[in-house]
Chains A and B, each alone.
Chain A
Amino acid sequence: MNATTLRKLATAVVLSAGLTTASGALAVDNLRIIAPANPGGGWDQTARAMQEVMQSAGIVKSATVENVGGAGGTIGLAQLADKEKGKPNVLMVNGLVMVGAILTNQSAVTLEQTTPIARLTGEYEVVVVPASSDIQNLSQLVEKLKADTGAVAWGGGSAGGTDHILAGLIAQAAGADATKINYVPFSGGGEALAAILGGHVTAGISGLGEWIGQIEAGELRALAISSPERLEGVDIPTLKEQGVDVELANWRAVVAAPGISDAQKQELAAAVDAMVKSDGWKKVLSDKGWMDLYMPGDAFAKYLADENARVSAILKTLGLVS
């Protein structure tokens, strides 16, 4: 299906949704967006940006954001699956981190118990070394990793998070023993950054946006990026072109409550689709430096299942889940 047909379809859905308004109030007129995190973080910012764009573009009458933070988003997820079940006007932001958190926290509720709507944005990860490091490129790092896996200390975010997952995937793809990687989790990007700048760890992994300033200033040397192809305007080679066959996006998406009808699902999907295509959303993406990774409908449902399988496998290898 190409973009034009998709848009036509969406318009049709919006129109038909508009028709139903005549007979009764549209369910998504009073949209509630659950951010399964405390104010300030990426999921919260996504939820608030959606609220702002949907309201100002007139897609919904009103939208509210509710923060239900904790346990990598699984508390919000539990609420969505239980208290919000069957409600047609609720969306929840989620992402790759939640896939990991569901496994490590042994959450009773999984993403299968939600109604997938669409992937929205994402960010790719960079592998860096301090400028003073004698490692010049990815193959030198891979050599070190193969020679003595434990001697390479990786610095990054929390255990089982995106950075940790990527470190495991790289080691695996490079032919090293991923069960032996020496990953040192730090709380927050700032602490990991300081440990790398100070040369306390060998290499670091984080989202591109978080460290781009230090890379451009020449304080960090970027060895590779986890995108499928080189990004426009970013002079960092991909993992793939350097012989490490790994792709990873730290994506963010929206899902709806379980137990809603197909028509209700289409209504929410149309609202999200209209939002993604609005100028307001484009402005948000460029202001915040978010990558547009919009993927609606069944394609997203399949993607979610694939990511789930891939993340479980690597977390098992890393020994985080049994």
Chain B
Amino acid sequence: MGALLDGFATALTVVNLGWCLVGVTLGTAIGILPGIGPALTIALLLPVTAHLDPTGAFIMFAGLYYGAMYGSSTTSILLNTPGETGSIITAIEGNLMARQGRGAAALATAAIGSFVAGTIGTVLLTVLAPLVVKLALKFGPAEYFALMVVAFTTVSGLLGTSRLRGMISLFLGLAIGLVGTDALTGQARFTLGILQLLDGIDITVVAVGLFAVGEALYVASRPELRSAQVIPIKGSLWMTKEEWARSWKPWVRGSFLGFPFGALPAGGTEIPTFLSYFLEKKMSKRPEEFGKGAIEGVAGPEAANNSAVAGVLVPLLTLGLPTSATAAILLAAFQQYGLQPGPLLFTSNSALVWGLIASLYLGNIALLLLNLPLVGMWVRLLAIPTPLLYGGILVFATLGVYSYNQSVFDLGLLFIFGIVGYLMRRFDFPVAPAIIGMILGPLAEQNFRRALSITQGDYTVFFTHPISATLLAIAALIIVAPFLLRLRQRRLASS
């Protein structure tokens, strides 16, 4: 703890706070653009920051990172256009809230939730890092596969009005996830001989296509939707007492859920958001409000993706193990300053490491202080006349998607997925299961096959490893429990 305070002392200078401000502003700007994430931006800025001192540079990166996350949630909530994959789930309930005039409350719960998660994450990082990393290393392919099975069960919370339609959407996502080079044998699958498809289809292209472009086409095609102007604020600008009461538990639960996922080498920030959404829906006293704009569905996932970020630092700092694209870039930044990434970093450069942890936390605070007062301004984006608003959304969506790979081919894909998104809306298919299928499918398949490759084809591996067996039991319980409960209720009713 003392070391952390020293870290704050290093980080807290006027110049560094200035860099933090630059980072947060720039981060918010790039977060709004789908496709351009913090990893890409930091990579582009690395040559520029070579002349800065390490602390200043890392503080700017920290601000940039949190700024990007927050910018992405903002567009998810207000415009139904997620900028980063971690805030795709936020778009579901957040955008519905915005349409009911509660956009400001959704933005506030996202910002405060991120801050709460950042705080809890930093404390967990300081106290639990060695323990968490030991647990994370116990996760081999068999355990990951079991974890993916658990994550798949959460789809049931997102299926919408019809199970059949939800399942079709899920399998569409799984099919999209299969396109590209098979990771295990290097063979091309479903690429139709197109070179650009060998790396697979990028999740941002699909998400932006299904969400932003699909939505634009659908809304434009409906006279009653097209002319409807969203009222930016209904009732109080701030969160009401009830909204506070409904938010704080999801914040805390989301924080504790996200942290360990960030620490897992293949965890990522998306999966805890699915789990958090599912958990909040199950625990809510008003599950019927989910799918109609429930604040818990914003508070939980937003906290989860933010504390996952703190979790990512655990293996990075204790093992020198980058578990996300951004972590890998941070590692490169370390190297630029002549610091050898790896387990010795903590002991040999402890001042810088704690400075980094402190600066991440400062980025978190800066964002809260900067953005809460701006919530009212952001929300007024919705007051822009619909034609201009959608014009802007599509310009930035195409800009972001193109920049990611600098490929016109991706613009073509975006258009195709836009049409698919339009058809899904028109025929009442939920979009979220497709996204989940696309993210989880490849992870589940790869780890399933890796586990069987390592054991030379022994299927019992999933049940003999204790963590994997436990996770599979949980998944089975999630699937079977509702049936059992219904059975019991029926029996009670009949007796």
User: Which residues from chain A sit less than 8 Å from chain B, CB to CB?
Assistant: 38-40, 44-45, 48, 52, 66-72, 74-75, 78, 104-105, 107, 150-151, 153, 158-160, 182, 184-191, 193-195, 197-198, 200-201, 212-214, 216-217, 219, 287-289, 320
Enumerate chain B residues within 8 angstroms of A104, measured Cβ to Cβ.
181, 186
Judge whether B140 and A195 touch: CB under 8 Å: yes
Residues B344-400 near A (CB distance < 8 A): 344-345
Check B342 for interface membership: any CB of A closer than 8 A: yes
With A153-B453, A200-B454 given, is the CB distance from A193 to B319 under 8 Å? Answer: yes
- A219 B184 Cβ-Cβ under 8 A: no
Offer 23 A-B interface pairs, CB within 8 angstroms, sorted by A: A39-B44, A48-B47, A52-B47, A69-B405, A70-B199, A71-B195, A104-B181, A105-B181, A158-B183, A159-B182, A159-B184, A159-B185, A159-B186, A182-B456, A184-B453, A187-B183, A189-B322, A190-B327, A194-B319, A198-B140, A213-B343, A214-B320, A214-B343
Q: Can you name the residue of chain B whose Cβ is closest to the Cβ of A78?
A: B195
Select from chain B the residue with minimum beta-carbon distance to A213.
B342
Q: What CA separation (Å) do A194 and B338 show in the bound complex?
A: 24
Cα distance, A158 to B343, chains bound together (Å): 25
Determine whether the beta carbon of B137 is less than 8 Å from that of A197.
yes
- In the assembled complex, which residues on chain B have CB atoms less than 8 Å from the CB atom of A320? 185-186
Contact of A40 among B329, B335, B341, B406 (CB under 8 A): B329
CB of B405 within 8 A of CB of A70, answer yes
- C-alpha spacing A198/B139, complex, angstroms: 7
Q: Judging by beta carbons under 8 Å apart, are B456 and A151 in contact?
A: yes
Q: Is the CB of B328 within 8 A of A188?
A: yes
Contact A195–B141 (Cβ < 8 Å):
yes
Q: Which residues of B contact A52 (CB under 8 A)?
A: 47
Complexed CA–CA distance, A217 and B346 (Å):
11
Chain B residue numbers with a CB within 8 Å of A191 are 265-266, 323
Q: Nearest Cβ distance between residue B419 and chain A, in whole angstroms? A: 23
B335 touches A200 (CB 8 A): no
B284 at the interface (CB under 8 A from A): no
Q: Which of A158, A195, A200, A289 has the most CB of B within 10 A?
A: A200
B332 within 8 A of A: yes
Collect the chain A residues with CB atoms within 8 Å of residue B40's CB.
38-40
Q: Closest Cβ of chain B: how far from A272's Cβ, in Å?
A: 20
B315 touches A (CB below 8 Å): yes
Residue on B nearest A44 in the bound complex, by CB? B43
Contacts A39-B40, A187-B183; A153 near B188 (Cβ below 8 A)? no
Closest chain-A Cβ to B108's Cβ sits at a distance in Å of: 34
Please give me the 9 A-B residue pairs with the lowest Cβ-Cβ distance, nearest first.
Answer: A213-B342, A200-B140, A159-B186, A194-B265, A198-B137, A40-B43, A217-B343, A39-B43, A71-B198
For B320, the chain A residues whose CB sits under 8 A away are 213-214
Asked whether B249 is an interface residue with its Cβ less than 8 Å from the other chain, the reply is no
Is B234 positioned at the interface, with any CB of A under 8 Å from its CB? Answer: no
Residues of A within 8 A of B411 (CB): none
Most buried by B among A69, A71, A320: A71
Residue in A closest to B185 when the chains form the complex, CB atoms: A159
> Once the chains bind, are A105 and B137 in contact (CB under 8 Å)?
no
Interface check B167, CB cutoff 8 A: no
Chain B, 308-327, CB within 8 A of any chain A CB:
315, 319-323, 325, 327
Q: Give the nearest-CB partner of A164 in chain B.
A: B186
Given contacts A40-B329, A151-B456, A214-B319, contact A70 B185 (CB under 8 A): no
Q: Bound state CA distance, A38 and B41, in angstroms?
A: 12
Report A145 CB to chain B, min CB distance, Å. Answer: 14
Whether a CB of chain A sits under 8 angstroms from the CB of B229 is no
Q: Max chain A CB contacts within 10 Å: which of B186, B195, B321?
A: B186
Contacts A159-B185, A194-B265, A194-B321 given: A70-B195 contact, CB under 8 Å?
A: yes
| B residues in contact (CB < 8 Å) with A | 39-40, 43-44, 47, 136-141, 181-186, 188, 195-196, 198-199, 265-266, 315, 319-323, 325, 327-329, 332, 335-336, 338, 340-345, 404-407, 446, 450, 453-454, 456
A219–B137 CA distance with the chains assembled, in angstroms = 13
Assembled-state Cα–Cα distance A212/B343 (Å): 10
Q: Which residue of B lies closest to A39 (CB)?
A: B43
Q: Which of B39, B327, B407 is the one whose CB lies under 8 Å from A70?
A: B407
Q: Which residue of A lies closest to B451 (CB)?
A: A200
Contact of A68 among B188, B404, B406 (CB under 8 A): B406
Q: Which residue of B lies closest to A214 (CB)?
A: B342
CB-CB under 8 A from A189, the residues of chain B are 322
Give the distance to chain A from B147, nearest Cβ to Cβ, in Å.
Answer: 14
Across the interface, B321 reaches (CB within 8 A) one of A44, A45, A150, A190, namely A190
Q: Which one of A107, A182, A194 has the greatest number of beta carbons of chain B within 10 Å?
A: A194
Q: How far is the CA of A200 from the CA of B145 in the complex (A)?
A: 14
Residue of A69, A197, A216, A219 ringed by the most chain B CB atoms within 10 A: A197
Contacts of B454 in A (CB 8 A): 153, 182, 184, 200-201
Minimum C-beta distance from A313 to chain B (A): 16
Report A-chain residues with C-beta under 8 Å of the C-beta of B456: 150-151, 182
Contact A217 B195 (CB under 8 A): no
CA distance A67 to B44 in the complex (A): 11
Shortest distance between the CB of A200 and any CB in chain B (Å):
3
* A288 to B199 alpha-carbon distance, docked (Å): 27
A68–B185 CA distance with the chains assembled, in angstroms: 25
Report if A40-B321 is in contact (Cβ < 8 Å); known contacts: A70-B195, A194-B137, A201-B454: no
Q: Choose from A40, A71, A78, A216 the contact partner of B39 (Cβ within 8 Å).
A: A40
Smallest CB gap from B327: residue in A: A190
Given contacts A160-B186, A185-B183, A194-B136, contact A70 B342 (CB under 8 A): no
Contact of B199 among A71, A184, A217 (CB under 8 A): A71
Closest to A106 in B: B188
Q: What residues of chain B lie closer than 8 Å to A288, measured between beta carbons? A: 335
Chain A residues near B453: list those with CB within 8 A: 153, 182, 184
- What residues on A are CB-neighbors of B328 within 8 Å? 40, 188, 190
Given the known inter-chain contacts A158-B186, A160-B186, A219-B343, please indicate yes or no for A75 contacting B338, CB distance below 8 A: no
Contact flag A74-B195 (CB < 8 Å), given A52-B47, A67-B406, A194-B265: yes
Question: Which residues from B are CB-within-8-Å of A200?
Answer: 140-141, 454
Residues of B within 8 A of A195 (CB): 140-141, 265
- The interface residues of chain A lying within 8 Å CB-to-CB of B186 are 104, 158-160, 185, 320
Chain B residues contacting A45 (CB-CB under 8 Å) are 332
In the assembled complex, the CB of B52 is this many whole angstroms from the nearest CB of chain A, namely 15
The answer on a CB contact under 8 Å between A194 and B315 is yes
Task: Name the one of B138, B183, B344 contacting A198, with C-beta atoms under 8 angstroms.
Answer: B138
For residue A38, which residues in chain B have a CB less than 8 angstroms away from its CB?
A: 40, 404-405
- Smallest Cβ-Cβ distance to B320: which chain A residue: A213
